[in-house]
Amino acid sequence: MSNTKLNANGNGNGSDLDNNRTQAQVQAQAQGAAGFLQKVGAAVSEFMKWYGVPRLIITCFLLVLIILAIIYKMDLGSLLGDSLTRVGMNGLLVLAMVPTITCGVGLNFGLPVGIICGLVGGVFSMSMDLTGFTGFFVAIALALPLSVIAGWLYGKLLEKVAGQEMMVGTYVGFSIVAGMAIFWLTAPIKNPSMIFAIGGQGLRYTLTLQDYFGGILNNFLAFDIVIGKFTMNVPTGLLLFFGLFCVLLYLFFRSRTGLAMLAVGSNPQYAASSGVNIRRMRYTGVIMSTVLGAIGILVYAQSYGFLQLYNAPLYMAFPAIAAILIGGATLRKATISQVIIGSVLFFTLLTTALPVVQTVLDGSEVGGGISEIARMIIQNGTILYALTRVGRR
């Protein structure tokens, strides 16, 4: 976004720039302290270029919220602890956007496809009465083959609508959520704590995970940090799990296949002329995203404490999309660091905005409304902003 300026000046003037830089260095030595300031200034402007204006604005907004929280003597510990949890529970869903962006399919608006697979895995794991880590990992194990198959089918569909993947994806997401509602109603589950109390059939809207694998990652190695009178809970297991996937994905995109995928997304013809199978790479990207979506929802659910069925996955893709875009990703390029920065900024904003605004407005009903409106504006505004930049280079 901020690169346009660079583009205009940076064309072939490499040697001139170098000259300027060496001159600057000479001056710096001569002027001592002034030179030091100049250097710091250069470093700051370099950082600004990398960080980008949109992210800076959001960071500032976030800082204002935190300062407000301090002024109003709010429980900073729980605010930050909740933020950490939010980041961890949504992280994998944000990460799921990276493979599709990299392989050229764009943002995965069809993330509910993966989410549904994860939910199915979770439901069957619960119906087997599995608890703790066993329950969680069996849920993942059940969701994996499902999401690979679903991802392959979804990839096949996207292949047919190449160029309009994002629009079609949105509707695929919507349709599969509606279609699966029938499945939830007719699923052959007999566990009484999972089905409607009356009628003996049909899964409940929300399944409580407390006795199954609720909080299993959050509580793993969790500890409290005490700062003054505030305590902040750190969900170690959750963050480790997110971190593990970040590392795995980071490594993947430096592997042969990962780089092939990058080439396909960046310039399909270059990829083809390098002997890369474009179709296979796009399928791989979509399948990976779907699998991450499936695992992601299980991580989300264990932290939240509930499996939400029926219409709940409908809009699940949007916060993830907004987060990665805030992180600085575009429709053609996304990196793991953008996922992390975006998740931290977006979800911290969501968790802190609501209570802070409510406190500032003295607990009135208006406060809740305003923060919800702010969330909608930020989330959908970001997506809109990114979409208006499609095709612009």
Partner 1 sequence: MSDSFVLELKGITKAYFGTTVLKDVNLSVRPGEIHALVGENGAGKSTLMNILFGMPVIHETGGFEGELILDGENVKIDSPRRAMELGIGMVHQEFMLLPGFTITENIKLNREITRKNVVSRVLGPKMETLNMPAMRRDARAALEKLSLTVDELAMMSGLPVGYKQFVEIAREIDKKNIKLLVFDEPTAVLTESEAEYLLTAMRRLAAEGIAILFITHRLDEVMSVSNNITILRDGEIVARIPREEAKLERIAELMVGRKIERAELPPRSVEPSDNDLAITISQLRVEMPGERVKGLDLKVRKGEILGIGGLAGHGKVGVANGVMGMYPAMGKVEKDGVEVPLNNSKAALQSGMAFVSEDRRGVGLLLDESIEMNIVLTSMQAQNKFLYKGPLNALRLQNGKKIRAHALKMIKDLDIRCTGPTQLVRRLSGGNQQKVCLARAFSLEPKILWVSEPTRGIDVGAKQLVLDLLVEFNRTHGMTVIMTSSELAELRKICDRIAIVYEGKVVGILPPDASDVEYGLMMAGKAGNVKEVG
Quote the tokens at residue 149.
Answer: 């198959």
Q: Select 272 or 377, whichever has its Cβ closest to partner 1.
A: 272
Per the structure block, which two tokens stand in for 106? Answer: 């764009």
Of 303, 272, 309, nearest to 177 by C-alpha is 309
In terms of DSSP bridges, do strands 223-227 and 306-308 run parallel, antiparallel, or are they unpaired?
unpaired
Dihedral sign computed on CA atoms, order 125, 128, 132, 134: negative
Q: Would you give the distance in Å from CA 208 to the centre of its chain?
A: 24
Least distance in angstroms from the C-beta of 9 to partner 1: 7
What is the binding site for partner 1 (CB under 8 A)?
A: 7, 9-18, 251-252, 254-257, 259-260, 262-263, 266-267, 269-270, 272-276, 332-333
Nearest residue (CB) to partner 1, 15 versus 388: 15
Tokens (6 digits) for 14: 């490499």
226: enclosing H helix or E strand: strand 223-227
Instruction: Name the residue nearer to partner 1 (CB basis): 283 or 347.
Output: 283
Least separation in angstroms between residue 288's CB and partner 1 is 13
- Amino acid letter, residue 184: W
Tell me the closest approach of the beta carbon of residue 274 to partner 1, in angstroms.
Answer: 4
Q: Which is nearer to partner 1, 201 or 269 (CB)?
A: 269
Of residues 242, 375, 383, 387, the one with CA closest to residue 321 = 383
| Residue found under tokens 């179709």 | 279
Nearest distance, CB of residue 174 and partner 1, angstroms:
32
Judged by CB, which is closer to partner 1: 291, or 297? 291
Task: For partner 1, give the closer residue by CB, 47 or 270.
Answer: 270
**Least distance (Å) from partner 1 to the CB of residue 390?**
15
What element of type H or E holds 378?
helix 365-388
CB of 163 to partner 1, least distance (A): 17
Minimal distance, residue 255 CB to partner 1, in Å: 5
Which CB, 208 or 266, lies closer to partner 1? 266
Residues 138, 206, 108, 89, CA torsion sign: negative
φ and ψ at residue 227, rounded to 5 degrees: -120, 110
Backbone dihedral region for residue 310 (phi beyond 0: left; psi -120 to 50: alpha; all else: beta)? left
Those residues whose C-beta lies under 8 Å from the C-beta of residue 28, and which sit 6 or more positions away, are 35, 36, 38, 39
